[in-house]
Amino acid sequence: MSYDQIAAIYDADMGASMTLPDVDFYVRAARACVGPVLELGCGTGRILAALIDAGVDAVGIDRSAPMLERARRRSGAGARLLRMDMRELALDGGFALALLPYSLVTYLLDDGDWSALAKGLRRALRADGTILLDAFIPRPDLACAGWVRDYARPFEGRWLLRHKRVQREDNGCHRIERRYRLRGAFGGRTLVTRERIRPYAPTQLIALAERHLGHVLAIDYDYTLGRSADEARFCTLTVAGIG
């Protein structure tokens, strides 16, 4: 699994690539609700730790054990963390809010995946619960034939380099390959990860949320209230609960 392989560098990699105020957005939403909060795909605890620091009663789940180990260090020994796939949620009720941040839903590749998520959330959320989810807005130039350099960033006194190749499949999914180089790391080899996602334009995201999860109450862009969709990078939906 890709995230198992990059857990040690995630915060300098994808974590550092998010430059928009998503953490503040989710903390505000969590503090405004009454009741416990469930974060799906909590990763290394980038958002979860901020929720806990803000006094939110939060539970984080992720399918990657190495990522959860990092989240434990970041969020504290008392943090409630569970290893679980979002398509196989096994949590009984009580949550007032479910968060699916940082384009987590792009790993839902078809209606079957969306239905499985909905089934688990229906069980986990209170009847009046709410769902917050986001996805990056696809760009026409996202797919490319060859490798392109993403960045070179300082990491623990060395330079972490990443190249990426995105290939569009006939079914609308994207196959993403990432190539990492870090002197003295990865057993002296170049680390390559591979994964499949399905990008969703805002109209597609809204339609899927309405079909599987519930009524869309609000649409925000780039985690900023009142921001226009023009040139936005992320679309966030607030969805009425399905409990």
Other Cβ atoms less than 10 A from the Cβ of 157: the count is 7
Task: Write down the CATH superfamily of domain 2-138+199-240.
Answer: Vaccinia Virus protein VP39 (3.40.50.150)
Task: Write down the residue that tokens 């519930």 correspond to.
Answer: 214
Long-range contacts: 188-197, Cβ < 8 Å, 24+? 191/5, 191/6, 193/2, 193/5, 193/6, 194/2, 195/2, 195/107, 196/109, 196/169, 197/103, 197/106, 197/107, 197/109, 197/173
Q: What is the mean pLDDT of residues 26-34?
A: 96
CA atoms within 13 A on the CB side of 213: 29
Whether the Cβ atoms of residue 98 and residue 124 lie closer than 8 Å to each other = yes
Predicted pLDDT of residue 226 = 86
Domain boundaries, the chain: 2-138+199-240, 148-197
Q: What pLDDT does residue 146 have?
A: 87
Strands (E), the chain: 37-40, 58-62, 80-83, 95-100, 125-136, 148-155, 158-168, 174-182, 191-197, 216-221, 234-240
Distance CA 56, CA 138 (A): 32
Q: What is the pLDDT of residues 48-105, one digit of tens each?
A: 999 999 999 999 999 999 999 999 999 999 999 999 999 999 998 899 999 999 999 9
* pLDDT above 80 (res 243): no
Instruction: Give the pLDDT confidence of 184-235 residue by residue, as tens digits.
Output: 999 999 999 999 999 999 999 999 999 999 999 999 999 998 899 999 999 9
Which of the two residues, 128 and 241, has the higher pLDDT score? 128
How far does CA 34 lie from the centroid of its chain? 23
**pTM of the model as a whole:** 0.95
